[in-house]
A and B are shown apart, each in its own frame.
Chain A
Amino acid sequence: EAGVAQSPRYKIIEKRQSVAFWCNPISGHATLYWYQQILGQGPKLLIQFQNNGVVDDSQLPKDRFSAERLKGVDSTLKIQPAKLEDSAVYLCASSLYGEGEQFFGPGTRLTVL
């Protein structure tokens, strides 16, 4: 079974630029999560999708972050414009259903200069 795929693996941008991350969850998984992990901290949930609907986006900075889940499968997370404090690893995870075990992708390491 293929795992959660993410791209790119690394991204370096300057502040005020835009960036987008892509996630392909495990086939058949209805729930998809985006997390932000700052160095030395645990992951913080940004947004949770159930199929193509948003379940929780309470910690998503909506003035600059946006996310969508195309047809309930792949998802993209966008930052526009980026700030220095957005430097982090962005992790995507999926689960079969909302309360199920989460499986994580390798993450995208973003550096904002």
Chain B
Amino acid sequence: KQEVTQIPAALSVPEGENLVLNCSFTDSAIYNLQWFRQDPGKGLTSLLLIQSSQREQTSGRLNASLDKSSGRSTLYIAASQPGDSATYLCAVRDNFNKFYFGSGTKLNVKP
């Protein structure tokens, strides 16, 4: 069974810093991987979707990479802002169309 882990569980950085969030998965046979943002009391907002054949995706200050062979994905946030404070979740879709979420990294960007 696929297991998705996100470390650290919480991260606090000063504004302006570049940062990396990590997501690891145990089974490399994935279909795609999606990064989400969740604000308190809200649903999930899709940030980036990486297909298994891709190595990275970029959107604005966000860059997500995927290394299937090592079972890892990273979300890079450039020039962090207080508005980036939220919980970031990664989710893996396997080849049987089943989803597995990590438990998230709670990011706090201090002004």
Q: Are A105 and B46 in contact (CB under 8 A)?
A: no
- 37-73 of chain A: CB within 8 A of chain B: 40-45, 48, 55-56
Q: Are B98 and A56 in contact (CB under 8 A)?
A: yes
- 27-47 of chain B: CB within 8 A of chain A: 31-32, 34, 36, 41-46
CB-defined contacts of B69 to chain A, threshold 8 Å: none
Q: Which residue of chain B has the shortest Cβ distance to A100 in the bound complex?
A: B49
Cα–Cα distance between A40 and B97 once the two chains are bound (Å): 25
Q: B41, B99, B102, B103: which has the most chain A beta carbons within 10 Å?
A: B99
Q: Are A99 and B31 in contact (CB under 8 A)?
A: yes
Q: Which residue of chain B has the shortest Cβ distance to A101 in the bound complex?
A: B49
Cα–Cα distance between A41 and B103 once the two chains are bound (Å): 5
Cα–Cα distance between A36 and B104 once the two chains are bound (Å): 15
Q: Are A45 and B42 in contact (CB under 8 A)?
A: no
CB < 8 Å: which of A41, A93, A99, A103 contacts B97? A99
Cα–Cα distance between A43 and B103 once the two chains are bound (Å): 8
Contact (A40, B103) CB under 8 Å given A99-B93, A107-B42, A107-B43: yes
Cα–Cα distance between A33 and B80 once the two chains are bound (Å): 32
Cα–Cα distance between A94 and B89 once the two chains are bound (Å): 17
CB < 8 Å: which of A42, A45, A91 contacts B103? A42
CB distance from B9 to the nearest CB of A (A): 9
CB-defined contacts of B42 to chain A, threshold 8 Å: 106-107
Cα–Cα distance between A103 and B36 once the two chains are bound (Å): 10
Cα–Cα distance between A45 and B4 once the two chains are bound (Å): 14
Interface residues in chain B, defined as those with a beta carbon under 8 Å from any beta carbon in chain A:
4, 31-32, 34, 36, 41-46, 49, 89, 91, 93, 97-99, 101-104
5 residue pairs, one from A and one from B, having the closest CB atoms: A42-B101, A104-B43, A104-B44, A106-B43, A42-B103
Further contacts, 6 of them, CB under 8 A, given A42-B101, A99-B93 = A42-B102, A42-B103, A43-B91, A102-B44, A106-B43, A107-B42
